[in-house]
Structure 1
Amino acid sequence: MNRPNIVFVLADDLSQNLVPYLPNVAELGRQGTTFTNYTVTDSLCCPSRASILTGRYPHNTGIVKNHGSDGGFLLFRSRGEEKSTFGTDLQHAGYRTGFFGKYLNEYQPRMRHVPPGWDTWVAGGDAYAGFDYDLDENGTVVHYGDRDQDYLTDVLSAKARAFITTSAATGEPFAAEISVYTPHLPYVPARRDASSFAGLTAPRTEAYGRIPRNAPAWLAPHSPLTAAQIKHMDSGFRQRVQTVQAIDRMIGDLRTTLAAAGVERETVLIFSSDNGYHMGEYRLNPGKQTAFDTDVVVPLVVAGAGVAAGQVIDAPVENIDLRPTFADLAGTPAPSEVDGRSLRALLAGRDPGPWRTAALIEHSDPATDPADPDHQRQSENTPPSYVALRTTAITWVEYVDGTREYYDRRTDPLQLDNLAGTLPPERGAALSAALAALARCEGAVRCHAAGAAVL
C-alpha cells in the first residue's frame, strides 16, 4: 500500500506503567512495532503537542509552556504555526483529514476556530472531567451533559469511527487524530469502569519514595512520602487505570470499524501519549516535567500497512519524527523546517541508514498558574528549567542553576545514582557541547547531525 490511511490515537499523560492494563494495545504491539526509546521533546502537554503537530523542537516552535506569552494555543496561532502541521501536509497530499479531541492548551470551543489542515474538526477545551463539556464541531459549539453516553472518550471514539466509515466509502485516503483527555487529572473514568481494579496500588519500584544519590538541588531536600500522600497516589493510580479502559476499548472499536469498512490492511494505526507521569517515584507527588524516564519515555506502538509484525526497536526516536513519518506515508516531502526524520524504514524493518544516537529534551519552568491544568500545587515538585540528552545508555541533564545529572541506565535503569560529579572533565565537556548543539539545531539535517554526534 503506497498511501495508507493513518489513524493516530494520542493519550494525555499516559505513562508506561499503564500499558500492562491495555490489552488491545498489547495486541497492536504483537501485530506491529513497539519503540522502547520513544521520548517526548518536553514532558508538558502543549510543548509536546506542538512538537507532534509541527515536527519541530520547542526551541524552534517557541511553545515552551501551556499558557501565556511563551506557550499555549494563542501563541501557537499568532506565530503562524498552524499554517504548517502534519494536518496541512496530509490535506495537501489529498487526504481527507479529521481531528477529534484535545488540541492545545488555551483552545476553547467558543472561539469557533478551525485550524488549517482539517476537513472534519471536533475539538474540546477544558474537558478533563469527561462530562458536562462543549465541543467545537466544524465551527458549531455542541454541549454534552452528564449521561453515561456523554463520556468524552466514548463520544470521540464514535465520531472518529463515523469519520472512518464515511471516508473509507469515498475510496480516497484519510487521516484521523483521536486525542483523548485521559488519564490526565482529575482521572475520571467511564462509570462502567469506576468500580474496577479494586485494591490496586501504585507500582512500588525501587525508585518509589527514594531520592537519587547526589540528587539535583531541587530534588535533594524532599521529605519522605507521608501515609496520606501514599494513600492519595494509590487511589489516583487506580483511577488512572480505570480511565484508560475506555481508551483501550476505543482502539479495539477502531480496528473493528476499519475491518468492517474493508480498509484495515490499508491503514496504519499509531498509539502514543503526549508525555509520561510520575506517582511517588523519587519522592515526587503526582506530576511530570522531569527528565526521568517516568516522564519523558512514553509508548509508541504502530501496526498496519507496511509495518513489520512483532518488531521491537530500541533506536532513539522522538515525537518530532511523527510529522515526517506521516508525510512519508502520504508520499509527500516534509517541509524543510521540520527537525525530525521519518520512521517509515524502521517500521518496515529496513535499515534507515545513519540514525541519531541521542534525543533532546527541553523544559522551561512554568510560572505558577492555578488555571493551568498541569499546575503543581507543591512547587517543589517542579524542576527548574533544563535541557537534557538521552541515548539508549545514558541521560545527561543541565539545569539553569548549574546543576548536572548523569545516569548510566545500563547499570542504573531507574536513575538512582547521579554520577555527574565523577565524570572526567573531558567527558562532561563533550556532553555539554553535544547538548548545546542539539539545543540550537534547526531542520532535519542539522538536528540529525547534532543528535548523531553524541556517544
Structure 2
Amino acid sequence: MGRRSWGAAASCGVLLLVALVLGGLPTRGPAAVRDDATISQQRVDDRPDIVLILMDDFSMELLSTMPEAQRMVREGAAYRNSYVVDSLCCPSRAALLTGQAPHQTGVRTNTRNGTPAVGGYPAFAAHDNPRKQFSVALQGSGYTTGFIGKFLNVYDVRRVNGKIVPPPKVPGWDDWQAILSGGYNGWGFRSTYLDEDGTMRLRTHAKPPRNASHEERDRGYATNVTADMAVRFLRDHRDDTSPYFLEIATYGSHAQIRKAYPGSPAFPSAFRDRAPRGDLDGGNCGLKRCGSLSLRDLLGYDDPRDDNAPTYLRPGGRTAPAPAWRTNPIILSDKSALRHYRDRVQMVQSIDRLIARVRREVGPDTYVVLTADNGIHLGQHQLNGGKGTPYDSDVRVPLAVVGPDVVPGRRSQFVSNIDLASTFEELAGRESPAFRSGTSFAASLRAPQARGGRYVFFEHTWSRSRPAEFDPDKESGGSTDVVPSYIAVRSARGLLVRVDLDKDWRGTDYAWELYRYDVPWEDRNVFAEDHAKPWVRDLKRRIEEFDGCRPAVCRALSR
C-alpha cells in the first residue's frame, strides 16, 4: 500500500495522532528501490516527508537558466504569483518560519538596530518566535526535523570570557546544522551541530589554500558543503519509521561580504562554473549561453524614475506631488550590472546541482518545495543594487512543488511566504494554530483551480545600515538604505504602496504610489489619476486594515 495522500492525512489529523499513540496506524508497503539501498522497513507513520529548499537573494531571471529547477517547474505545481511579505532577508525568513507578518514577529530589520532589538535573531528570540516556528508543531507531532544552511542574521558565534562559543540552541529542530555568517564568502566558515546529548557544538570548514586545485576548493564551497550535509541527512533518515521535514537554506545567490580569494567576484560561483580568465562570455550558465544574457532580461532596467515619485492624498480627494525618495546617485554601470548578472547565473548552477542531488535521494512520497527569501534589483528602477522595495524585482520569488498527488502545471493563486507554515502543517495532518497569519495553499497542489489568495501584502521598515548589515552590496551600488518604510498590497490589476517619508520611527508622512500591470514592471505612478477608481479604493482599504492587523484579519484580507 502506498503512503496515503496529504488530503486524507489532513482531514483526520487528530485520529492520525491517536493512531500513532495506540500503534494502530496502517503501515505502507516497501518503498521504491533506490540506486544505493533498498528500504527494508515499513513506516509506522504514513505521513509524507517534506524538503524545503530556500535560496537567498534569488531573482526570477535566474530561474530560466537552471535545468533541475526547470524540471521541477515542469513536473510540479509552479506558482506564477508567489511573493514574500518583506523583501529583506531576516524579516522574510522570520515570517516564513512563523507564518506571521513582520509587525507580528517583531523582526523588522536585519540587525538589532537599538535596544530593545527590532531586527536580527535578537528580535526573533525576544518576541517568542522560536516556539512559533512550524518546525515546533511538526516535531511535536512526530516529525524528525532538520535544518541545514543559513538561518537568521546575527545568529552567530559569541565570545564569552575570551572563548568563542556557539550561538543559542534553537527549539523545534532535531538536527541543527546552521552555517554561520562566514558562509556569505563562499569559503572558510563555521557550522553548528548537536552532539549525542543535544549540546550545541561548532564545526570549522577551513578554506582551501589559494594554490589548491579548483576541485579541492569546490569541495569546500558553501553550497556544495550544504548539499553534502543535506544528502547525509536524507540517507540517515530515509529508513526511519517516522517522517522527516528538512529545510535546506543556501547562501547563494547572495553577494559575498569579504573576498575569500584575491580577485573573487562580488557573486562568487563554484570554480567549475566560472569562465576561463579573459573570456568574458564563457562559463557555465546552465540552459543558456553566458554570452546571450543581456540587461534586457532585467525587466525595468534603467527605467526613468521621473514619473515614480509618490503622491500625497489631501482631504477631499485632492492630490499633490510628494518628494521623491529614489534620489540615490546612479553609480552602477551597464558593464558592472551585466557582469554581476552573469556571475549570479553561474553562482546558482551549484544550487541547481543541489536540487538534483536532493531529488535523487528522496522517495516518491516526498514533497520538495523550492523558493527564495527575496529577490533583488540590479539597476531596475535606477536603484543600483539591493532589495527591500515592494517592486516585482524584489518581492516576486519562485515557488515550485513536486510530490505525491501534485498535479503538474502553472497556478495563478496569489501566495505569500507567510502561507508556507500553514501549508506544511496541513501536509503533515496538523491544524494550524490561530496565530498564523498565512493560509495553506495545499489544496491547490492537487487541484490547480482551487480557491486561493487574490491579494498579497508587503511591509518594510526603513533602517540605517549598521555594523554586521549584510545587504547593502557596495559593489553594486548599495541602494537598500534609501528605501522608506511602507505597507503595500498587490492584486492582478496593480500594486498600491503607502510609503512613509518620515524616517523617524515615531512619526508618519504618508504618500502613495500606484502601478497598473499594463507592463511587467512598475513603470509609472498613476495614483493621481486613478486613486478614486473602485478597485484602487478597495486596495487602499485593505492596506489600512492590514496596518497592525491581527492574524484572523490578515488572513481574511488576502481573499
Do the aligned partners of residues 140 and 200 (structure 1) sit closer, same or farther apart at CA in structure 2, a change above 3 Å counting? farther
Query: Is contact 1:33–1:308 with CA below 8 Å preserved after alignment?
Result: yes
1:340 to 435, 438, 443: 438
The answer (yes or no) to whether the contact 1:356–1:448 under 8 Å persists in 2 is: no
Counterpart amino acid of residue 361 in structure 1: F
Which residue number in structure 2 is paired with residue 153 of structure 1? Answer: 223
Tell me which amino acid in the other structure corresponds to 1:161.
Answer: V
Unpaired stretches in structure 1, ≥5 consecutive residues: none
Distance apart, 1:241 and its partner CA:
0.9
Task: Give the direction of change, closer, same or farther, for the CA distance of 1:43–1:171 in structure 2 (3 Å limit).
Answer: same
Distance 1:200 1:73, change over 3 A: farther
The 5-angstrom pairing of residues 216-231 of structure 1 reads 216=309, 217-219=323-325, 221=327, 225=330, 229-231=333-335
Q: State the Cα deviation string for residues 312-349 of structure 1 (Å, max 9, x = none).
A: 11111100110000000110111110001111101111
- Which residue number corresponds to residue 144 of structure 1? 205
What is the aligned counterpart of 1:66 among 110, 123, 135? 110
Deviation at 1:214, TM superposition (A): 2.1
Matched, 1:172 2:242: yes
Select between 369-378 and 6-15 the one with higher mean Cα deviation.
369-378
Contact 2:166-2:201 within 8 A present in 1 as well: no
Provide the rounded CA distance (Å) in 2 between the counterparts of 1:346 and 1:446. Answer: 22
For residue 166 of structure 1, report the CA deviation from its aligned partner: 1.3
Alignment map for 1:295-334 (pairs within 5 Å): 295-309=394-408, 311-334=409-432
Does the residue aligned with 1:105 lie in a helix, a strand or coil?
coil
Aligned to 1:103, the other structure's residue is in SS state: coil
Deviation at 1:212, TM superposition (A): 4.3
CA–CA separation in structure 2 for the residues paired with 1:414 and 1:432: 20
- 3-state SS of paired residue (1:48): helix
Q: Quote the offset at 1:218 in angstroms.
A: 3.8
Structure number with higher helix proportion: 1
- The equivalent of 1:434 in structure 2 is 542
| Distance of aligned partners of 1:399 and 1:115 in 2 relative to their CA distance in 1, 3 Å threshold | same
Partner residue in 1 for 2:513: 405
The structure-2 alpha-carbon separation of the partners of 1:277 and 1:144, relative to structure 1 and needing over 3 Å to count, comes to same
Q: Higher Cα Rg: structure 1 or 2?
A: 2
Q: Which structure 2 residue ranges, 5 or more long, are not aligned? A: 6-46, 158-164, 195-199, 209-216, 257-266, 276-282, 310-322, 502-509
1:281 aligns with 2:380: yes
Tell me how far apart the structure 2 counterparts of residues 141 and 211 of structure 1 sit (CA, whole Å).
49
Q: CA 1:373–1:213 in 2, change beyond 3 Å: closer, same or farther?
A: same
Q: What is the identity, as a one-letter code, of the residue corresponding to 1:308?
A: V
Q: Residues 172-321 of structure 1: matches in 2 within 5 Å?
A: 172-186=242-256, 187-195=267-275, 196=283, 197=285, 199=291, 201-204=293-296, 205=298, 207-212=300-305, 214-216=307-309, 217-219=323-325, 221=327, 225=330, 229-258=333-362, 263=363, 265-309=364-408, 311-321=409-419
Indicate if the aligned counterparts of 1:356 and 1:449 stay in contact, CA closer than 8 A.
Answer: no
* Equivalent residue number for residue 131 of structure 1: 187
2:48 matched residue in structure 1: 4
Q: Deviations over 1:20-62 (max 9, x none)?
A: 1111010011110100111100000000000100000111111
- 1:423 maps to 2:530: yes
Amino acid at match of 2:92: S
Q: Give the Cα–Cα distance (whole angstroms) in 2 for the partners of residues 78 and 192 of structure 1.
A: 43
For residues 403 and 441 of structure 1, what CA distance do their matches in structure 2 show?
20
TM-score (norm 1): 0.92
Equivalent residue in structure 2 for 1:116, among 162, 171, 175: 171
Contact 2:303 2:382 (C-alpha < 8 Å) held by counterparts: yes
Residue 304 of structure 1: how far off its partner (Å): 0.9
Closer/same/farther in 2, CA of residues 424 and 20 from structure 1, 3 Å limit: closer
Aligned residue for 1:65, secondary structure, equals coil
Amino acid at match of 1:255: R
Stretch of structure 1 that moved more, 344-353 or 98-107: 344-353
Question: CA–CA distance in 1 between the matches of 2:467 and 2:340?
Answer: 20
Q: Is 1:366 aligned to 2:463, yes or no?
A: yes
Whether the aligned pair in 1 keeps the contact of 2:386 and 2:478 (CA below 8 Å) is no
TM-score normalized by the length of structure 2: 0.76
**Percent pairwise identity:** 31
Deviates more, 1:9-18 or 1:420-429: 420-429
Aligned CA RMSD, in angstroms, stands at: 1.9
- How much does 1:352 deviate? 4.0
Aligned to 1:92: 140
